[in-house]
Amino acid sequence: EFDGGTFAFVASDEDIHTAIERRVTEIAGAAGAKLHTARSRNDQVATALRLFAKRELSTTARRTLALIDVLDRRADDAGDAYLPGYTHLQRAQPVLLSHHLRAHAWAFARDVERILDAVARLDVSPLGAGALAGTSLPIDPTDTQRRLGFARVFANSLDAVSDRDFVAEALFTLAMVGLHLSRLGEEWVLWTTEEFGFATLSDRHATGSSMLPQKKNADIAELARGKAGRLIGNLTGLLTTLKGLPLAYNRDLQEDKEPLFDSLDQVNRGLEALAEMIAAASFNADAMRTAADAPAAVATDVAEWLVARGMPFRQAHAKVGELVSRSLASDTPLVDLVRADAARPPQARTTRRHRDRA
C-alpha cells in the first residue's frame, strides 16, 4: 500500500508507528497487536534512520563516482590542451587541462572514501535496545541485525537510542561534497564568461535573461555554489541541537531528519546535474592557450631553468623578476628576453653586475 500510494492515514493515528500497527491489525486480526512487542519507537526510529542513511549515502557515493568518471573522460579527451593555472585568481603557471580536471576528480575521490567510512560506522543495528534499557523478553538482537543487513549489533542500549553521531557525520560528508561541487561550479561560472571564454555550456544546461537577450547564464553551476551554504547550515544546525542533550532519547532528536533528508536531496541532485553539464559542455582550447601564453606565464619555469644551470635560486628569482618587468613594459615574450640576455658576452654581464653592486 505504501509503494502504491494507497495507504490511508486516519485521525486517530498518533504517528507512523501506530498507523502501521493499526493497518496490520486490520489485515491480520489480533496478531497485529503483537507487532510492537519488545520494541520502542526509540529503537525503531534509530533503526529506520540508519537503514535510510545507509541506502541514500550509498546512492551519493555512486553519483559521486559517476561525476568522477565524467571528469576523467573529459580529461582523457583534452589531449595536450593547456590553460593558465591560478593562485590568488591570478595567472601563475600553465597546466594541462587534463591535470586541472583531475584535481577536482581527486577531491571527489576523497569524498567517496569519507562516505564509505561513514556508512561503515553507521552500519550498526540498534533494534532491541528498547526505550533505553533493552527488554526482559527473550529476543535476539543479533538475529534482527542479520535479517536487516546490518554489519553489527549495538553494544550499549543507552548509546544505541541516543546516538546521532552518524547523522552529523553524514551531514559533514555531504557538506564536503557540496563544498567541492561549489568550487567546481565557481570555476565553470568563471570559465563560461566572455572575460575567460574557456568553455561553453550546452543550451540545455544554461538559461537566458528575461531582459538581456545576449545572456547565457551558468545557472546549474551557480546553484551548486549556492547550495553549499545550505549544506553547511544543515550540519551546523544539527550539531547545535545535539550539543546539550542528556542521555538517552530526547524529543529534540526529531530535528535530525529534515537536515539529513534535505542534504541528501540537494547533494544527489547537484552531483547528477553537474555531471550532465560538464559532459555536454565544450572547451575553447584556443582561448585557454592564448591566456596561458601570456608574456610572463613561464616565469617559474625560466627561474628553474637557470637554477638547473647552476644559478642560486634567489639570484634566479631576482633575475627573472627583472626580466618579467621588462617583458611587460615592452610586450616582449619573456622567453625572447631570456634568450637575448643569455646571448650577451659574459664580460658585459659581469661588468653590469659589478656596476650594480657599486
Angle of helix 219-242 relative to helix 257-280, nearest 10 degrees? Answer: 160
Question: What is the C-alpha to C-alpha distance for residues 69 and 66, in angstroms, rounded to an integer?
Answer: 5
What value does the CA radius of gyration of the chain take, rounded to a whole number of Å? 30
- Return the beta strands (E) in 156-242 as ranges: 199-200
Q: Which of 88, 136, 282, 354 is catalytic?
A: 88
Q: How far apart are the first and last CA of the chain?
A: 93
**CA distances for 174 relative to 62, 63, 100, 202, 224, angstroms:** 13, 12, 23, 28, 13
Helices and strands in the chain, H and E counts: 13, 6
* Torsion of the alpha carbons at 152, 59, 168 and 257, rounded to the nearest 10: -100
The DSSP letter of residue 196 is T
**CA distances for 308 relative to 121, 302, 319, 333, 349, angstroms:** 50, 10, 14, 21, 19
**CA distances for 354 relative to 341, 347, 348, angstroms:** 17, 11, 10
263 is known as an active-site residue: no
- Cβ pair 43, 160 in contact under 8 A: yes
**CA distances for 213 relative to 37, 207, 217, angstroms:** 66, 11, 11
Q: Which of 58, 202, 209, 325 is catalytic?
A: 209
- Return the beta strands (E) in the chain as ranges: 82-87, 90-96, 124-125, 152-153, 199-200, 282-283
330 is known as an active-site residue: no
As a whole number of angstroms, the longest Cα–Cα distance in the chain is 107
The catalytic residues are: 88, 209
